[in-house]
Structure 1
Amino acid sequence: MRPPARRRRTLLSLAGVVTATLLTACAAEGIEIAPVPAPNPPQPASIAPPAPGVVRPEPHARFDYQLGGAYVPPPGVRVVSRDRTARPEPGRYNICYVNAFQVQPDALDRWQREHPDLLLRDGGTIVMDTEWNEALLDISTDAKRTALAAIVGDWIDECARSGFQAVEPDNFESYTRSHRLLTPADDIAFARLLAVRAHAAHLAIAQKNGAELLDRSTDIGFDFAVAEECGRYDECGAYASAYANRVFVVEYAKPRFTATCRVWGETLSVVLRDRNVTPAGNREYRYETC
């Protein structure tokens, strides 16, 4: 089973921090507060056509987020995201999850044996994402990005051979956890290599979080977005504008999900999942759509 879904954020403004703090306190008291939409909501951008052979997901398609284990989707679901080790769901648009910028905890020993030079180090110590116990990959140079793109690119090709239509490379914003050893430009440059590889395999590619880098989405080549808790952090409008409403939103708290549905439920694909994204039948399992 994969680790729980990512929920990292760099908030866009001090006002966002204050708002998030207040709303979190309200949620703890069981108070549901709907975010106030902007007087002039952002309009969907006119984005470039997809690469040849690439099919983007439809906007506002019912979505299921199955990173914790595959199961038969609920009725009406048209888009499913699953780990790269799972099989795609027949008759659906399938998104393949890959941890592209960091190392799964159970794979660290292998990386240390086979690719020790591709792990990010600070004075000889491997830089870790302490929240998820994941080592960061060293994408600080052209040579290392090229080497890592070959490894992750093989995973992307496997996704295509398995029958997925898109890929979701996680930890796009790894620079924020790098002890300042990586820069936004490093993550952008690596993401661009992954986009080229995905498009060569006729897969669409998603921007996974990283709202602070939305202004580079077209330059990178992203086709749509998977945005965790964009309602909580008031980022959904920015994603909607950047990707012409091709945005798959995952919320983990019921009050936030309800509030997000009030504003974006008729426009974006919004789901509520349990924080461990467990399969149906698990006692933690929770799934709702707007």
Structure 2
Amino acid sequence: MKGLRWMFSALAVLVAGCSSPAQVFPGGAQFDYQLGGGYEPPEGVSVVVRDATDDPAVGMYSICYLNAFQTQPQAAESWRAAGLLLEVDGRPLADPDWPDEYLLDTGSASTREAIAARIAQDILQCAKNGFDAVELDNLDSYGRSNGQLTFEDNLEVAKMLVKQAHDLGLLVGQKNAAEESSRLRDIGFDFAVAEQCVEFDECSTYTIAYGADVLAIEYLEGFGSDDPCETPDRPTSTIVRDLNLTMPDDPAYRYMAC
């Protein structure tokens, strides 16, 4: 059924002659963020985010996670072989918080086009697998580039990826770069996935641009005994999870919907 829904959405796009997908994001819905592995969603959940290597959640609005501006750990060598990693003194530049992820080099037109072409294949696979939308992570990677990349570099890649997703009937979610939400909304992003916006006091930056179309994840480790759900300006769709996004059979697993 999900495959048929995707086909009809894509057909509607072609008939309309535009690049916007023929669907509406389920803003305000309860969701789950399952990047650590797919499992039966908690009661009340209707939106689920899973990694691109996982299957969409049956019967749910399903979002496909893609690391669009940095490498997944298992894919770093193929990106380096293609000459698409940002390097400093001949060594790939890693994200300091995730040292097994390396920054993609969005600094030239040729590398941007090559990066977008590779990520476009992942977007296509998300569509074929039956996902409804994609989440593009690490839009803010330029801030970790030691000044070698700019937001404009990443924006150009984002434009290409948004068009690719929309042409396939998928909605597109912003991840990170909260301060650029309005500009990203303007180029076609449909919703946002906000990590720790309560903790970092930036939820309104997302909601001004996207209204109720914001999925917010807060991590217990950032709050101690405080309850992020008590924050008055948090997005309607806010959940609390454990930092490693573990599965329910793990003692560290935590899930709470605000």
Normalised TM-score (structure 1): 0.78
Shift of 1:111: 2.5
Shift of 1:60: 1.0
Could you tell me which amino acid in structure 2 is paired with residue 128 of structure 1?
A
Partner in structure 2 of residue 69 of structure 1: 37
1:167 matched to 2:134: yes
Which deviations, in whole Å up to 9, do the C-alpha atoms of 1:101-159 show, x marking residues without a partner? 0112222223233x1x2111123221111221211111111111111111000000000
Identity %: 43
Tell me: CA distance 1:112–1:217, structure 2 relative to 1, closer, same or farther (3 Å).
Answer: closer
Check the 8 A contact 2:242/2:253 in 1, yes or no. Answer: yes
Check the 8 A contact 1:119/1:138 in 2, yes or no. Answer: yes
Check the 8 A contact 1:240/1:268 in 2, yes or no. Answer: no
Question: Unaligned regions of 5+ residues in structure 2, if any?
Answer: 1-17
Report how many aligned residue pairs link the two structures. 238
Alignment of 1:229-244 (within 5 A): 229-244=196-211
Partner in structure 2 of residue 150 of structure 1: 117
Which deviations, in whole Å up to 9, do the C-alpha atoms of 1:181-218 show, x marking residues without a partner? 00011111111111011101111000102112113123
Partner in structure 2 of residue 12 of structure 1: none
Question: Unaligned regions of 5+ residues in structure 1, if any?
Answer: 1-49
Check the 8 A contact 1:149/1:194 in 2, yes or no. Answer: yes
Could you tell me which amino acid in structure 1 is paired with residue 88 of structure 2?
D
Partner in structure 2 of residue 194 of structure 1: 161
Check the 8 A contact 2:171/2:190 in 1, yes or no. Answer: yes
Partner in structure 1 of residue 73 of structure 2: 105
C-alpha distance in 1, partners of 2:190/2:226? 24
Could you tell me which amino acid in structure 2 is paired with residue 91 of structure 1?
G
C-alpha distance in 2, partners of 1:287/1:257? 15
1:219 to 168, 177, 186: 186
Tell me the C-alpha RMSD between the 2 structures. Answer: 1.7
Larger relative contact order (CA 8 Å, sep ≥ 6): 1
SS at match of 1:102: coil
Check the 8 A contact 2:68/2:138 in 1, yes or no. Answer: yes
1:279 matched to 2:255: no
Partner in structure 1 of residue 8 of structure 2: none
SS at match of 2:243: coil
C-alpha distance in 2, partners of 1:255/1:190? 38
Check the 8 A contact 2:179/2:205 in 1, yes or no. Answer: no
2:56 to 88, 113, 122: 88
